[in-house]
């Protein structure tokens, strides 16, 4: 039995990926970068430190990268955060995981204030033992930093935890920390891309994982 479940938030427990993609696309266009919605969406799951270099040169990052990321953050909070909703059965899933004896951690590429708001939206604040954000690490996913800090704080090894995420970046980051990953398709990435990145099991979303929890990695 694993000792902990480490959940991503955006696209895993919350239906927010399209909203993040729109905010990033708007920010990129505002600062002169012709990036499509699909291009922006393909990078959601990374923190800004990993997403911005995909679209901006080193000189452009120095010139306006920080300003653009701040504009994106403000745009998302004012226009799109109020539209974020949880996927079905999220509190029920986490409650069942806790009842099985696992501790629950959140490992998100979002900023700390966004993570706190997300937990409220999903009605899971009181079900989470440990929350981490991009503010806690030097590098966001797909670097392993955020998983390594969770393992350190929980005082467990990678083999004692299971990650649950919706992007290849979750699986890559968890794999580098020696944590097995359950993938969910509700964030919009394909099953093949998740398996290629290292996901051991794939479910349509939190509701399906809730129903099939006893047969999943979280129960063995």
Last residue of a domain, one of 26, 53, 82: 82
Q: Are residues 110 and 181 in the same domain?
A: yes
Q: What is the pLDDT of residue 134?
A: 84
Using the predicted structure, report yes or no on whether residue 109 has a pLDDT greater than 90. no
Residue 154, number of CB atoms within 10 A of its CB: 17
Q: Are residues 136 and 201 in the same domain?
A: yes
Give the count of domains, the chain: 2
Q: Are residues 55 and 119 in the same domain?
A: no
- The model's confidence at residue 111, banded by pLDDT at 50, 70 and 90, is confident
Write the CATH number for 99. Answer: 3.40.50.1000
pLDDT digits (tens, 9 = 90+) for 83-99: 999 999 999 999 999 99
Last residue of a domain, one of 57, 82, 107: 82
Q: Are residues 125 and 163 in the same domain?
A: yes
- Domain of residue 154 covers 4-16+84-219
CB contact set of 150 (below 8 Å; sequence gap of 6+): 4, 6, 105, 107, 130, 132, 161
pLDDT digits (tens, 9 = 90+) for 114-166: 899 999 999 999 999 999 988 899 999 999 999 999 999 999 999 999 999 99
- What percentage of residues in the chain have a pLDDT greater than 90? 93
Q: Are 180 and 172 in contact (CB under 8 A)?
A: no
């Amino acid at each position: 039995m694993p000792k902990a479940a480490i959940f991503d938030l955006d696209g895993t427990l919350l239906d927010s990926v399209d909203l993040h993609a729109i905010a990033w696309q708007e920010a990129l266009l505002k600062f002169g970068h012709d990036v499509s919605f699909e291009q922006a969406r393909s990078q959601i799951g990374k923190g800004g430190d990993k997403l911005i270099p995909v679209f901006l040169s080193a000189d452009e990052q120095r010139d306006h990268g920080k300003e653009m990321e701040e504009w994106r953050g403000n745009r998302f909070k004012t226009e799109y955060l109020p539209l974020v909703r949880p996927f079905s059965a999220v509190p029920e899933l986490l409650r069942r995981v806790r009842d099985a004896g696992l501790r629950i951690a959140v490992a998100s590429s979002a900023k700390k204030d966004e993570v706190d708001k997300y937990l409220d939206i999903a009605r899971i604040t009181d079900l989470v033992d440990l929350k981490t954000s991009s503010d806690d690490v030097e590098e966001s996913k797909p670097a392993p930093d955020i998983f390594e800090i969770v393992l350190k704080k929980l005082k467990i090894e990678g083999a004692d935890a299971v990650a649950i995420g919706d992007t290849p970046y979750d699986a890559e980051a968890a794999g580098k920390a020696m944590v097995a990953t359950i993938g969910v398709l509700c964030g919009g990435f394909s099953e093949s891309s998740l398996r290629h990145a290292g996901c051991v099991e794939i479910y349509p979303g939190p509701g399906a994982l809730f129903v099939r929890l006893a047969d999943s990695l979280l129960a063995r």
